[in-house]
Every structure is written in structure tokens, then in C-alpha cells.
Amino acid sequence: MTADRKAKIVIIGGGPAGLAAASSAVKNGTAAEDILIIERDHVLGGILNQCIHNGFGLHTFNEELTGPEYAQRFINIVEEEKVPFLLDTIVVDVSAGSTKIISVMNKTDGFFTIAADAVILAMGCRERPRGALNIPGYRPAGIYTAGTAQRFVNIEGRMPGHEVVILGSGDIGLIMARRMTLEGAKVKVVAELMPYSGGLKRNIVQCLDDFGIPLKLSHTVIDIKGKERVEAVTIAEVGPDRKPVPGTEETYTCDTLLLSCGLIPENELSSQLGVEMNRVTSGPVVNESLETSVPGVFACGNVLHVHDLVDYVSEEATAAGKCAAKYVNAGQWSEVYRTDAESAGKPASETDKHAADIPIEIIARDGVRYTVPSTIHIDRMEDLQKIRFRVGAVYRDASVVIDFNDKVFRSQKKRILAPGEMEQVILKKSDLEAAPDLKTITIRIEEAPKD
């Protein structure tokens, strides 16, 4: 198929991940004119444009910024580097192969195709909708996802309501509890199904505790009253089986119910492309280069796994941009390996090449829900490799244990581990090279002995 346009690297998504990946690709040898960012919104910056609270940029820029300020820093970088981008443009299909064909549409050009040597998936994530939560009751006005309410208040200048109940304690819900309060609304309660919060500890303190908003763990909404508009919401405590406990019902009069019940990576395009998906994260399975199971297709940011800090998104996207640039500049991974081996003064024998193609599997076990990446090719990795993961419960005074081939390599004590906060371990390339016949690396939690 002959494409209408060509680019070496096409980046799908112009949010923080896409912008950082584009800048990194330029810095790592890909000409700016050979990169193309495709964004479906009318502006770059993604979800950060509606996140007007501060707390962004502490890791990336060593200062505290609002979401729009953080996004603008990267927009300025991309514009200074003269990276082309398309706005108000929808990607409808991506086909695999040595050359990827990206089918897109917009009002100006209609339908057209772009041929690319590599694709970086940076589409972000979306909120879990109410329909997926099976809440009984009518479907009256006044029920919003927290992100929709955030857009109404921060972008459109409209208040969703004045008496609010929030279901779910994800970070967006916590932040909107504070935002609605500052705008004059009364947030009556935040109910969380799980026995722990899904948000950052700092957001619980700054957004709920500082404003006297109660957080009820192991509670959920069991009834919504009202036909035209929400009039009241009933919550109840849930047991270990997540079912409501009779006799624990509480009813709150309200005109608004906000849902902050989790985020889902935006991966319809990934699935169409045939990318192997992780059942835990709902994002692609990637290796140390953030490359998916489809050669030349990379993923980063919230489309890969949901992050708690945008600084980590940018860091991950920078790595993806570097690896994509390395891939397209060399043409294929065997050439990348040969070039790296020669620069290090190593013989790139056929045996070494074969070994480089056999990845080390990273296993998540005993409290660790998943890892990113899922595999490592030693010869493609940097000198230091970050492995990010989340735990499935709250652990106190536990240890993060790293096993090489089922033997303990390293153990690190942690005062607290919680599902709402991403964790990481760092591995040295030299340690992996020194390990005999290394086939698996296991990341697990070891709890402290009970008295």
C-alpha cells in the first residue's frame, strides 16, 4: 500500500507522554521533520490542560508547576525543535509490518495514510464509566466521572452541582473533592470500595483531611435516588467479599455523584494492531526498550500503565523516544546490537546475537501485581534499568525482594507499600551480565514476621 505521507516516527497522542517522546527522539538523532505527533484534541498537552492544581514538575524541573504550566514546558520544547504535529486528527487504524501504515482523519485533509518506520503509542487513559460499575437505581442528571466534572469546572467554568458524594478515592476524585469545596460546594463523603485508598497519601491529606471531608473505606454506593436529578445516594459498608453488609446503610442527600473508580489505558488501537496485552494493567506488554510484541511499536505513559505522577510519565516517554530513535536510525535490532557491541569493543558473534534475542522474563509474585517492563534483553538495556510495579494491598514494614533464577539477589526494606503509589527497583546491567544462565527475575513482597 502506498501511503500519502511518510515519517520515520509517528507518535499517537500529544499529551505529556507524546511530547516527551518526541523531544527525546530528536535529542537522540532523529531529525525533527522525520517525526510526526498526531493529537485528536484541538491543542497539545492532553489531560494536563484541565489539571490547574499544582504539584507537577518536582522531579522533572525541580519546581512546582500547575498542569498547564508543565504541559507548556514540553510544548515549548517541541515547538522550538520544530517537530511537526497534527491537531484535531483521529487515528482510525494502524497496520503492522516492517513499515507501519497509520490511517487518520481530520476536517482539513479528510482521510489519508502515513507510512512510518516506528510508532510510539502515547494515547493516555480514560475513566472507568458508571455503566461498568453496576450501581442500581435510575439514571438521573447529576452523575459524572470526576474527570468530566474537572473539565466542567476548570475549562468550561460550570459547576456540576452543590451537594456532592464521591465514589472512589482515586487521585482525580480526591483532587475534585478539594476543588468542589473551594468553589463553594459541600462534599459530604468519599466512599471507597477497597479497604485502602487508590490515591496518593499526600492527596488524602491535602484534599480530604485539610477540609474535613470524611473518607469511608470498604464502602460503596448501593442506591441512587431521583429520576430527573440525583436527590440522594445511599452507601453501605462492604465485607471481605465486597458485598454490602445489611444494616450499615447511610443515605446522603445530594444533587451530584462523582465517580472516581479507576482509569483504563486507551488501547483500542493497540488491540487492533495485535499487540500483546497485560491483563492486569490493560496496557501492552513491553520489554526493556518499551517495545511491544509488534516490532517497531513502542508504548509509554498511561496507555502502558496508569501512573501516579506525570513526572514518571515524562521519564518513561523520554526512554521510549530514545529507543524508537535508536531503532529507526539503525534499521533493525540486530544492527542496534552490532553497533552497541562494536562501540563497547565486544565481538558481535552469531552466538552473542542469538543470546541477545532471548529475553529474561520478569515475574511479578507475592503481592506484586505487575511489572514494567516484562522482559529484558541484556544487550539492549542501559547501564541502569528501572522496573516499575504496583502492589495489590497495603504492606507495612515489608521488603521488596529481587530473585535471580529463584535465588535472592537483593532485598530492600520498605516502611509502607500501598496500591495507590507506584514503586520501582533499579537493576545494573553488570549484575545481570554477571549472573550465570539468568532466565528469570522475580519481584515479590516479603512481609515482616508477625509477633
Instruction: Report CA-CA distances (Å) from 176 to 135, 195, 209, 339.
Output: 21, 21, 14, 50
pLDDT for 338 equals 47
Q: Residue 343: which pLDDT band, with cuts at 50, 70 and 90?
A: low
Question: What's the N-to-C CA distance of the chain in angstroms?
Answer: 68
SS (H, E, C) 117-150: EEEEECCCEEECCHHHCCCCCCCCECEEEHHHHH
Per-residue confidence (pLDDT) for residue 69, from 0 to 100? 97
pLDDT of amino acid 349: 43
Spatial separation of the C-alpha atoms in residues 336 and 73, rounded to whole Å: 31
Q: What is the pLDDT averaged over residues 254-279?
A: 93
CB contact at 8 A, 146 and 170: yes
Residue 310 CA to residue 315 CA, distance in Å, equals 9
Q: Tens digits of per-residue pLDDT, 152-202?
A: 999 999 999 999 999 999 899 999 999 999 999 999 999 999 999 888 889
pLDDT of the residue at 330? 79
**Cut 0.85: pTM above it:** yes
Question: Would you state the pLDDT for residue 352?
Answer: 46
Q: Is the dihedral of CA 368, 369, 372, 376 positive or negative?
A: positive
Spatial CA neighbour of 379 closest among 350, 403, 355, 349: 355
Q: How confident is the model at residue 3 (pLDDT cuts 50, 70, 90)?
A: confident
Distance, CA of 244 to CA of 234 (rounded, Å) = 11
Q: How far apart are CA 66 and CA 294, in angstroms?
A: 36
The model's confidence at residue 342, banded by pLDDT at 50, 70 and 90, is low
**Mean pLDDT, range 141-162, rounded to an integer:** 94
The C-alpha atoms of residue 427 and residue 214 are separated, in whole angstroms, by 41
Average pLDDT score over residue span 51-78: 94
Mean pLDDT score of the chain, rounded to an integer?
91
* pLDDT at residue 61, as a whole number: 93
Lowest mean pLDDT among 5-9, 22-26, 128-132, 399-403: 128-132
User: Is residue 351 predicted with pLDDT exceeding 50?
Assistant: no
pLDDT in tens, 69-123: 999 999 999 999 999 999 999 999 999 888 999 999 999 999 999 999 999 999 9
Q: Which residues make Cβ contacts (< 8 Å) with residue 393, sequence separation at least 6?
A: 196, 367, 419
292 DSSP β-pair partners: none
The stretches of 57-126 forming alpha helices (DSSP H) are 67-80
Q: Which of 184-193, 282-291, 355-364 has the lowest mean pLDDT?
A: 355-364
Handedness of CA 106, 107, 108, 112 (dihedral sign): positive
User: Does residue 348 surpass a pLDDT of 50?
Assistant: no
Task: Read off the pLDDT of residues 203-223 as tens digits, 9 standing for 90 and up.
Answer: 999 999 999 999 999 999 999
